[in-house]
Structures are given as structure tokens and as C-alpha cells.
Amino acid sequence: MINKMYQPFTKEEFYQVLAPSGELLDSIEEIITEPLMKKMYENMMLVRAFDRKAIHLQRQGRLGTYAPFEGQEAAQVGSALALSPDDWMFPTYRDHAAAIVHGQDLYRVLLYWNAHLDGSICPDGKRLIPPTVPIATQMLHAVGTAWASKLRGENNISIAYFGDGATSEGDFHEALNFAGVYKTPTIFFCQNNGYAISVPFKKQSASKTIAQRAIAYDIPGVRVDGNDIFAVWLTVKEAIERALRGEGPTLIEAVTFRYGAHTTADDPKKYRDQEHLSSHWRDNYDPITRLQKFLYRKGLWNEEKEEKLVQQIEEKINMHVQKAESYPKADPLDMFNHVYATQPWHIQEQQNELRQALQKDVKSK
């Protein structure tokens, strides 16, 4: 389909199908159907609206610290839409767009950011691991799961999401090494946002790209325009086909940019020209605007459909917000559960200390 994806792209190059102008650079209509194109757009619109709503809820004190993703919709939605229901997804704390597309309920995402245990429940019939906060650890889990699927003769893959900062962790290299040795059906999907919180990629690594690191493990590596949902979908789809043929893993580097802060507890203006960078990417490379231009040009979309979709999305999100807020508040003592089979003395001490503090707080009210 797109064998050129495995060429060693330079820092300035990547695989691209849909130009920022909304024009096609390659013929893909026979591969990506019109219904799928509209589904891509509708999903990106949904997750962007959800992301903005979550930030508003956090600022209003109705949600805990939250990790936004606006600007990375094409990378997450495009990759998730390429999966089958039987595929395993290993997201980070920022990949709720991918999780939603793979079947996670919006209200459970909100529960997760309010520290509720029910926010980590996997949807019925899906294989979705709870968001991983420790950097890069989920990559090893994805390899192990894919290896187990291979040994069982199952027809599915595992996809591990991670950012550019994770590629500086030892787990990244261990995961690629094991996947390469055992040819596991694993897709390593890196969203290269250019910053590991405040550290730019050039200060993390001397390598020009992340994709080129695949060479060391003798697995395919591809650099794709992460704001081009067509290119992302095609790339992941081909990686899945390779994996299911028994040809092993693929490392995908999706070049993108997150408009907002690392989390709602971060101030990006302290370490980069936030206003210039965000406006530059939003004005020139926005993934939703790019697809919208294409759909309008093809006659597949219009203002009437846009207004209807926006209204439907708003109603859906509000319904899920109400459902999430109808849940009882999370119990802080839950953090001590499901960690140790037998709690060590110092953990018991901390748990008792917190319990006493909570009881004291209740009495004071």
C-alpha cells in the first residue's frame, strides 16, 4: 500500500497524504471510503470539544488536574480508527481521544481525572488498559501482551502510545528490543510533540528523528505527519497488516504539536514562546481544519451538517458530564488498595494518618 513509509525520512520530511491546504497528495479514495472520512471528522470534532470542556471543568474546580491534547486529534483518532475491537490499546495519561474512539465512555474519562476508580473500567468487549502515568512502562506491557497473543495464535495486535519524552527512558529500548527479537505484533506509536514537558527534543537526543531508532532493533520505522489523519490511518493500517502476517513490530513517529500546556498544572510560557508556537501550528497545520477543507471541497460536508454535528456533540458531552458528576466523590483511601497483597508497616501508617485527617476534617465541618 505505502511501502515508501519505511524510507529513512530526514528531520524535515515525513509521510503525508493530505496537505495543510486540504488537497490530496496521493490517491486514497479507494482505500479510505467517504463514510470513513466523515467518521474521522466527526470523531475529531467530538474529542476536541470534549478536551475543551474538560479544561473548563478543571478551571471551575469540577475536575482534577487534566492533561489536554488539542492539536493531536489526527494522531489519536486516526490511529484508533485503524484498530479492530480485539486489538489491545495501551494509552498514556494524554491519550483519552484514542481511548474514546476505541470505545471508552466520556464520563469514565472524567471520572478518571476526578480520581474515581470507575474511571479505569474497560468498556465491555474491548481491550483497553487504564491510562499509564509512569513514562514508557506501558510499552513493555504492550510487548508482553502481543507476545502472549502470538503464542495463543490470536489475530490481534497491541498498540502502545507514548510521547517523545518516553524515548529517553530505558523501557522504550527494552520494549523495542524484545519486540524485535520475538517479532511481536506490536505497534509503537509516538506522538512527537517536540517537548517532554519543558525539555525540547533537541536537548533529549542527538538523533534527527525518533523513527530512525528502529534501525538499531532491525524493525521498520516511519515518520508520518501526525496532523494528517489520512496518513496516520494508512500508516497504522499497514503496520497492523505487517504484524498480522507475522512480520513483527513497527515504530511510528507522528510529528504533531499540542497547543496547550502539558497539564492544567503547567505554564508553558515559562519555557517556550507559547503564543507564537500555538498560533503558528493552529493557523497552518490544524488537523481538523485540514480535513474540513477537504470535505467541503469534495461536497461531503456543509454548514448545515456542521451546525447539526456541533449541537449533537454539545448535548452528548453535557449528558456525560452530568453522569460523571452524579457519581459519589472518590474516597482518598482508595489509593492504598490493590497495590500490596500484604501492606508493609509504613504504608499502613500512612493510611491510618490519612484516615484520621479525613475524620478530623469531617468533624470540623
SS (H, E, C) 124-141: CCCEECCCECCCCHHHHH
Confidence at residue 8, expressed as pLDDT on a 0 to 100 scale: 45
**Same-domain status, 340 and 308:** no
For 211-222, what is each residue's pLDDT tens digit? 999 999 999 999
**Same-domain status, 88 and 20:** yes
**Same-domain status, 346 and 316:** no
**Same-domain status, 315 and 258:** yes
Mean per-residue pLDDT pooled into runs of 10, the chain (365 residues): 48 86 90 96 98 98 97 98 97 98 97 95 93 96 98 97 96 98 98 93 92 96 97 98 97 96 94 91 96 96 97 98 96 90 95 94 76
Confidence at residue 6, expressed as pLDDT on a 0 to 100 scale: 46
Report d(CA 179, CA 158) in Å as an integer.
Answer: 11
**Same-domain status, 280 and 335:** no
For 27-70, what is each residue's pLDDT tens digit? 898 899 999 999 999 999 999 999 999 999 999 999 999 999 99
Amino acid at 319: M
**Same-domain status, 354 and 301:** no
**Same-domain status, 11 and 123:** yes
For 134-185, what is each residue's pLDDT tens digit? 999 999 999 999 999 999 999 999 999 999 999 999 999 999 999 999 999 9
**Same-domain status, 284 and 353:** no
CATH number of the domain bearing residue 205: 3.40.50.970
Annotated catalytic residue within 102, 108, 116, 262: 262
The pTM of the full predicted model, rounded to 2 decimals, is 0.94
| Secondary structure percentages of the chain, helix, strand, coil, to 5 | 55, 10, 35
**Same-domain status, 340 and 300:** no
**Same-domain status, 215 and 362:** no
Residue 116 is placed in which grid cell?
Answer: 474515581
Q: Please count the other Cβ atoms lying within 10 Å of the Cβ belonging to residue 6.
A: 17
**Same-domain status, 26 and 173:** yes
From the list 56, 32, 82, the residue with the least C-alpha distance to 241 is 82
Annotated catalytic residue within 258, 259, 290, 320: 258
Catalytic (active site) residue 262: yes
Catalytic (active site) residue 182: no
Q: What is the mean pLDDT of the chain?
A: 94
Report d(CA 329, CA 194) in Å as an integer.
Answer: 36
Contact 245, 87 (CB under 8 A): no
In DSSP terms, which residues pair with 252 in a beta bridge? Answer: 189, 222
Annotated catalytic residue within 6, 182, 271, 327: 271
Number of domains in the chain: 2
Report d(CA 91, CA 100) in Å as an integer.
Answer: 11
**Same-domain status, 206 and 338:** no
221's enclosing H/E stretch is strand 221-225
* Residue numbers of the domain that contains 158: 3-330
Catalytic (active site) residue 112: no
Report d(CA 139, CA 186) in Å as an integer.
Answer: 9
Contact 84, 269 (CB under 8 A): no
